[in-house]
């Protein structure tokens, strides 16, 4: 286990199920500096291009050298899970988290979350459609946010069921809606839909559990 992995383990400070207390999340949109958003966008652009690139060996070797140099420079500014800007940057698509399809939140309340999501070239499954795994990943994050906003508690996914109703297109802004159906004790039952205009692309329902103090 690396030093970074050790540092990222939950401490006594991070007591809400091993997470940073929810009241502390999303509080500092200056984390990462004024150009962090552009950095994330350029990384996404790279991911899109690599997804379909068929490089010559000359281009591949040049890109490898540049990426190695960049990785070495980024090593000097590596933090841990708790200090990463993506914990805070609610001003950026998907909070600046490159592992998620980019989405923008339009409205968030205890009644639900309304957002817009775009699956990019990187998320290609086949024949111009978004990969179902990326669609499910997006639903998992949206519903986790929906459950957390409704309950003001940290939750974990217990199960997630996705029904794919029609093709989810790439590079198209889609409408996304998540809401809580009911709460039973620690159980939070949630639903969500994904639309391209009037057309339903996919819908999901799931169960999220509110964590006990110290539960991971």
pLDDT at 3 over 50: no
pTM, full prediction: 0.87
The strand order across the sheet containing 103-109 reads 103-109, 112-118, 173-184, 187-196, 199-210, 155-164
Taking residues 112-136, what's their average pLDDT? 97
| Cβ neighbours of residue 1 closer than 8 Å, sequence gap 6 or more | none
Is 71 exposed, middle or buried, given 0-12, 13-18 or 19+ CB atoms closer than 10 A? exposed
81-90 pLDDT, tens digit per residue, is: 778 898 789 8
């Amino acid at each position: 286990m690396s030093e970074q992995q050790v540092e990222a383990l939950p401490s006594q400070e991070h007591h809400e199920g091993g997470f940073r207390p929810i009241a502390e999340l999303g509080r500092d949109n200056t984390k990462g500096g004024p150009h962090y958003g552009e950095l994330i966008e350029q990384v996404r652009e790279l991911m899109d291009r690599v997804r379909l690139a068929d490089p010559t060996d000359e281009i591949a070797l040049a890109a490898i050298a540049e990426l190695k140099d960049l990785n070495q420079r980024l090593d000097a500014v590596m933090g841990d899970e708790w200090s990463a800007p993506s914990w805070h940057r609610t001003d950026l698509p998907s909070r600046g988290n490159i592992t998620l399809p980019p989405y923008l939140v339009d409205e968030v309340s205890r009644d639900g979350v309304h957002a817009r999501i775009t699956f990019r070239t990187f998320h290609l499954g086949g024949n111009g459609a978004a990969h179902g795994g990326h669609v499910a990943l997006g639903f998992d994050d949206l519903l986790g946010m929906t459950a957390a906003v409704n309950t003001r508690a940290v939750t974990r996914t217990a199960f997630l069921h996705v029904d794919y109703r029609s093709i989810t297109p790439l590079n198209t802004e889609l409408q996304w809606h998540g809401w809580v159906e009911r709460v039973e004790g620690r159980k939070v039952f949630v639903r969500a839909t994904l639309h391209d205009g009037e057309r339903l692309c996919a819908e999901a329902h799931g169960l999220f559990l509110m964590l006990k103090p110290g539960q991971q």
